[in-house]
DNA sequence: GTGCTTGCAAACAGTTTGCAGATAG
DNA sequence: CTATCTGCAAACTGTTTGCAAGCAC
């Protein structure tokens, strides 16, 4: 996980370079995204924002996420059943552990994934620019609770 | 890729075991799914069915896909932007090459992926039951067309 | 002051559901 | 004959868009 404060300042300066305006809502959202404590969904982010701003909207969350996506500063993780989760703390491809019970998503250090990509794709003449590796199963907590 | 005819008969017998009725629409859909020539979306399957049955519906496609999903006989591949593609030819986890231009999805033989799963997850006390590995990039065709 | 951003509401797309009629077994 | 399946239409969910008012710069 990247350091939340460093990543927050990184996002701030990248948006400023783009002449984006730093509204309080946007700053709060960036701070949430940079924290890296979770891989939140859009509505989860909205719920957290609502505790700070009594008036705010899901549309604003989506607009900022889409802006960051265009800039390549957020990883959009689409799953089955229409579930989408975001990772703006570490926006480059990396393996994830996805708990099938509590739906927690944890980063997983795993050096060999990237070179596996190159190796596997070369066989089919495929030019790899990105990859995605998810492990599904039960996290330690969920294994211990029947 | 599994042999289409074998996989088709396999799906047929598994549905019969469940006392499912083999309507012409369902048989045609199973044949499409077993063919393994592509990793189609629901509406792509519907389009292909419409050429055989002038009256048919997307709801029927979804109902059969959901039935096969419950039986573990289809792999649901969710992507960003609400895109969902299905793989019923080889319904167990395996790596995919996803073309970011033409959106072709190709199976990729890659023996090391499964053991990588075990290895990586053991470090975090995560019990892996499934995995997903996608490589994104340009397929051979798209590299050769500007 | 300018024009980007917000937040509401309406539109939208993909998926799911309810139900009456059709049909496989 | 019976229970399942089909296919239509309506409901639903998550996301996107349009626009008037607000606010960062």
pLDDT at position B123: 77
A129: helix, coil or strand?
strand
Q: Are B130 and A139 in contact (CB < 8 Å)?
A: no
pLDDT of residue B5: 96
Q: How confident is the model at residue A58 (pLDDT cuts 50, 70, 90)?
A: very high
Q: How far is A137 from chain B (nearest CA, A)?
A: 4
DSSP A92: S
List of A residues 41-80 with CB within 7 A of strand D: 41-43, 58-59, 62-63, 65-66
- Sign of torsion, CA A16 A40 B86 B36? positive
Query: Which of A77, A100, A124 faces B97 most closely, judged by CB atoms?
Result: A124
User: What string of DSSP letters covers B134-146?
Assistant: EEEEE-HHHHT--
Q: What is the CA B100 to C1' D22 distance in angstroms?
A: 40
Among B126, B130, B132, B139, which would you mutate to test the A interface (most chain A Cβ atoms within 10 Å of its Cβ)?
A: B126
Give the model confidence (pLDDT) of A84-127 as tens digits.
999 999 999 988 999 999 999 998 877 666 677 777 777 788 88
In whole numbers, what is the pLDDT of chain B averaged over residues?
A: 90
In this complex, the answer to whether residue B135 has its CB under 7 A from any atom of chain C, a nucleic strand, is no
**In this predicted model, what pLDDT tens digit does every residue of A1-52 receive, in sequence order?**
789 999 999 999 999 999 999 999 999 999 999 998 889 999 999 999 999 9
Q: How far is CA B122 from CA A48, B117, B118, B127, B130, in A?
A: 32, 9, 6, 7, 14
Distance of B48 CA from D11 C1′ (whole Å): 27
Q: Please, which pLDDT band fits residue B73 given cuts at 50, 70 and 90? A: very high
Contacts of B29 (CB under 8 A, 6+ apart): B45, B49, B60, B61, B64
Distance CA(B63)–CA(A22), nearest Å, equals 47
CA B81 from chain center: how many Å? 18
Q: What is the pLDDT of residues B107-143, one digit of tens each?
A: 887 766 667 777 777 778 888 888 898 999 999 899 9
Question: Which stretches of chain B sit within 8 Å of chain A by CB?
Answer: 76-84, 95, 97, 99-100, 106, 108-110, 112-113, 116-117, 120-121, 123-140, 143
Average pLDDT over residues B53-79: 95
Q: How far lies B97's CA from each of A95, B8, B62, B82, B102, in Å?
A: 16, 24, 25, 19, 12
CA distance B83 to A136: 20
pLDDT value of position A109: 74
Q: What residue spans of B36-75 are helical by DSSP H?
A: 42-50, 58-70
If you measure CA to C1', which residue is closest to nucleotide D3? B21
Confidence at residue B84, expressed as pLDDT on a 0 to 100 scale? 94
Average pLDDT over residues A75-87: 91
State which residue of chain B sits closest to A104, comparing Cα positions: B126
> Under an 8 A CB cutoff, do A112 and B108 touch?
no
**Between chain A and chain B, how many beta carbons pairs sit less than 8 Å apart?**
131
State which nucleotides on strand C lie below 7 Å from a protein beta carbon: 3-10, 13-18, 23-25
3-state secondary structure B72-102: CCCEEEECHHHCEEEECCCCCCCCEEEECCC
């Amino acid at each position: 996980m990247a350091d939340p404060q460093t990543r927050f300042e990184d996002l701030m300066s990248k948006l400023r370079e783009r002449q984006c305006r730093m509204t309080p809502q946007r700053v709060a959202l960036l701070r949430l995204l940079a924290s890296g404590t979770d891989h939140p969904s859009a509505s989860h982010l909205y719920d957290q924002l609502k505790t700070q701003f009594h008036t705010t909207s899901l549309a604003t969350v989506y607009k900022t996420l889409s802006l960051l996506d265009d800039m390549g500063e957020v990883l959009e993780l689409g799953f089955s059943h229409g579930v989408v989760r975001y990772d703006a703390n570490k926006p480059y491809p990396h393996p994830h552990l996805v708990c099938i019970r509590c739906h927690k998503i944890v980063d997983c250090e795993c050096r060999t994934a990237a070179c596996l990509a190159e190796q596997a794709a070369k066989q089919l003449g495929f030019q790899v620019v990105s990859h995605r590796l998810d492990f599904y199963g039960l996290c330690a907590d969920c294994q211990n609770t029947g």
